[in-house]
């Protein structure tokens, strides 16, 4: 009886290791709230607080997809890191700084000046 218990516990432990190994390597997968994100750079004290980037808006849709004025594509959100994987924004990277705010980063994760904010939901 004791041998069966040990064999069962060993098998259960190996099964849990197999499940852990299949987890997403970069962290927890997620999706962004649906809606249109408008991108801008900081302004200055003499002018507008934010300078909108012409053509810099994108709309998050269902199933990790997005759309811009020039086409559509897909994205991957891992923990708070966002990367556009296909389409016109392919290769662009952001960090999620709030529920409706993204900040562009370089390929090493260093924050840049561009931020994108989601407007009212659809």
Question: Would you state the pLDDT for residue 4?
Answer: 58
Local structure of 30: helix, strand or coil? strand
pTM of the full structure: 0.76
- For the chain, the structural domain boundaries read 27-118
Convert 44-102 into a string of H (helix), E (strand) and C (coil): CCCCCCEEECCCCCEEECCCCEEEECCEEEEEEEECCEEEEEECCCCCCEEEECCCCEE
Question: Would you state the pLDDT for residue 120?
Answer: 73
Question: Would you state the pLDDT for residue 33?
Answer: 95
pLDDT tens digits, the chain, 122 residues: what are they?
555 555 544 555 544 444 444 455 679 999 999 999 999 999 988 989 999 999 999 999 999 999 999 999 999 999 999 999 999 999 999 999 999 999 999 999 999 999 999 987 55
Question: Would you state the pLDDT for residue 23?
Answer: 53
Contact 38, 59 (CB under 8 A): no
Show contacts of 85-93: CB within 8 Å, 24+ apart. 89/58
Question: Would you state the pLDDT for residue 26?
Answer: 77
């Amino acid at each position: 009886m004791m041998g069966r218990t040990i064999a069962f516990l060993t098998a259960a432990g190996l099964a849990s290791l197999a499940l852990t190994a299949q987890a997403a390597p970069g962290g927890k997968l997620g999706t962004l709230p649906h809606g249109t994100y408008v991108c801008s750079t900081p302004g200055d004290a003499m002018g507008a607080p934010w300078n909108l980037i012409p053509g810099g808006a994108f709309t998050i849709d269902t199933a990790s997809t997005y759309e811009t004025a020039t086409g559509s594509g897909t994205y991957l959100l891992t923990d708070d890191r966002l990367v556009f994987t296909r389409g016109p924004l392919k290769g662009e990277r952001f960090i999620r700084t709030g529920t409706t705010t993204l900040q562009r980063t370089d390929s090493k994760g260093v924050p840049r000046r561009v931020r994108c904010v989601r407007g009212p939901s659809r």
